[in-house]
A and B are shown apart, each in its own frame.
Chain A
């Protein structure tokens, strides 16, 4: 019986992959990334940041884009496959792209919170881009947790941000539509403290468990059935492998930022209420005065659309927009539809707001000549 044989094979592969990820998560190892689709060079390394530079062949926009990825998985999902790569799409549209590759924290980094990640690492990375590009401001584009970091950075360092794009941002955590949130609500602050006391950081296997618990039926077998049903589709199996590799590329979350994220942002919703502080400074979202594009994935089952949608109402920008797209949390980055339709819209929105940059911009390539 091919159905059962194939399914059993797929399921075993998946089980081995998951066990491997969990095993790695108990230690401090992080899985190796697949070879990059788009070539890049690392132009800066410091703190917990490694800054990648992807060079556009035909650059037509002055302001570079800094992609801020989440802290809990590896960023190769943004450059997964030729034709299914956000980086590739933005480069083709003539943007110079930089991406923040977060270096996984060790136990010695347990005290790193939003202050260290935003005011040190992200600030240093943006500074490195400004120096490299000889520009005053950059476009910041954050994805999921990275969008949260980008928003906080923009509120605290607005002078450096020309345009802000947030994608699937977990902003208003008062929206408790996802059932898994109920479970999280019941885990009290004492348990969070215990996790950081035992492990220092939130271990990678726990991050993995959290993702798996969000859709247990899918992860237990439905995805393998999906693979069986689509195995004949061109490139599906390869994409499935890459995607699974990303799903098991969990990274530990530094202890302090884990406490702040779960306690202050998730449980008490302090950011949306305007009461969140980073490094002793209140994060006032009215300080976000640059144009804001807030992308919401309508079928998102990791960050409920309802928790992203209220963001534009809370910022001080006059130019603010919600862009909703019928895709899921990950689909926003890798689905063919998003690459074909959504990302060109994002590029267009950025391009429309880029013209002022040309006055001050000196093309570094031309200068080099």
Chain B
């Protein structure tokens, strides 16, 4: 057995040392000797640092493990293959089959939305124009109505009376051509 400890064993030993010696000692001093909590806090952070080192070493060990590497490598490739098949299927369905059965694509839907939006705009403009026209027409009609009323009044005022229809003369021989 090698005399030199592996980093992970070293970190583990440090973590135990801090968790089982430093931290309880600091807590006891705080409790019985009425020392401030700085020592406890410091021991706590020391324990945390030892734990982080341990976690890092563990992660590195996992990465360095050939079995994990093989599984992860194969996993990545597998996911990529599935993704590629998924992309191909999506492309086949949404690129060719989808339109073939008469369903619109996203691009077409977007174009349609743009068209509808443009139509709405046109309609809104047309409505505004129409309402302006109507207002103008109403104004014109009102003006013309008033004018006509005045005109009728003028006609009556002029005292014009249509001539009475003359009865046909009896015995008339001539015929108007």
Partner of B72 from A186, A190, A216, A217 at Cβ < 8 Å: A186
Q: A188-B77, A217-B52 are in contact. Are A194 and B70 (CB under 8 A)?
A: no
A215 adjacent to B81 (CB under 8 Å): no
Taken residue by residue from 141 to 163, chain B's Cβ proximity to chain A (1 for < 8 Å, 0 otherwise) reads as 00000000000000000000000
- Once bound together, how far apart are the Cα atoms of A293 and B45, in whole Å? 40
Answer yes or no: B98 CB below 8 A from chain A CBs: no
Partner of A216 from B59, B73, B74, B81 at Cβ < 8 Å: B59
Partner of A180 from B45, B63, B66 at Cβ < 8 Å: B63
Answer yes or no: A132 CB below 8 A from chain B CBs: no
- Once bound together, how far apart are the Cα atoms of A28 and B72, in whole Å? 27
Partner of B87 from A185, A187, A198, A217 at Cβ < 8 Å: A198
Smallest CB-CB separation from B74: which chain A residue?
A186
A contact patch SS: helix
Answer yes or no: B96 CB below 8 A from chain A CBs: no
| Contact residues in B for A241 (Cβ distance below 8 Å) | none
Smallest CB-CB separation from B86: which chain A residue?
A198
- Once bound together, how far apart are the Cα atoms of A218 and B55, in whole Å? 10
B59 adjacent to A183 (CB under 8 Å): no
B73 adjacent to A188 (CB under 8 Å): yes
The range of chain B's interface size is 20 to 34
Answer yes or no: B119 CB below 8 A from chain A CBs: no
- Once bound together, how far apart are the Cα atoms of A152 and B7, in whole Å? 38
Residues 10 to 64 of chain B near chain A (Cβ within 8 Å): 45, 48, 52, 55-56, 59-64
| Contact residues in A for B136 (Cβ distance below 8 Å) | none
A192 CB, min distance to chain B CBs, angstroms: 9
Smallest CB-CB separation from A191: which chain B residue?
B77
Q: A183-B72, A186-B69, A186-B72 are in contact. Are A198 and B80 (CB under 8 A)?
A: yes
Q: A179-B61, A188-B77, A217-B59 are in contact. Are A194 and B69 (CB under 8 A)?
A: no
A179 adjacent to B76 (CB under 8 Å): no
| Contact residues in A for B66 (Cβ distance below 8 Å) | 182
**How many residues of A are in contact with the other chain, CB < 8 A?**
21
A184 CB, min distance to chain B CBs, angstroms: 9
Smallest CB-CB separation from A198: which chain B residue?
B84
Answer yes or no: A225 CB below 8 A from chain B CBs: yes
A228 CB, min distance to chain B CBs, angstroms: 10
Q: A179-B63, A186-B69, A217-B55 are in contact. Are A198 and B83 (CB under 8 A)?
A: yes
Partner of B56 from A186, A187, A194, A215 at Cβ < 8 Å: A215
- Once bound together, how far apart are the Cα atoms of A197 and B77, in whole Å? 13
- Once bound together, how far apart are the Cα atoms of A190 and B77, in whole Å? 8
B40 CB, min distance to chain A CBs, angstroms: 13
B109 CB, min distance to chain A CBs, angstroms: 19
Q: Which residue, B60, B70, B81, has most C-beta atoms of chain A within 10 A?
A: B60
Question: With A183-B72, A183-B73, A198-B83 given, can you name 12 additional A-B contacts, CB distance below 8 Å?
Answer: A179-B61, A183-B68, A185-B73, A186-B72, A191-B77, A194-B80, A194-B84, A195-B80, A198-B84, A217-B52, A217-B55, A225-B48
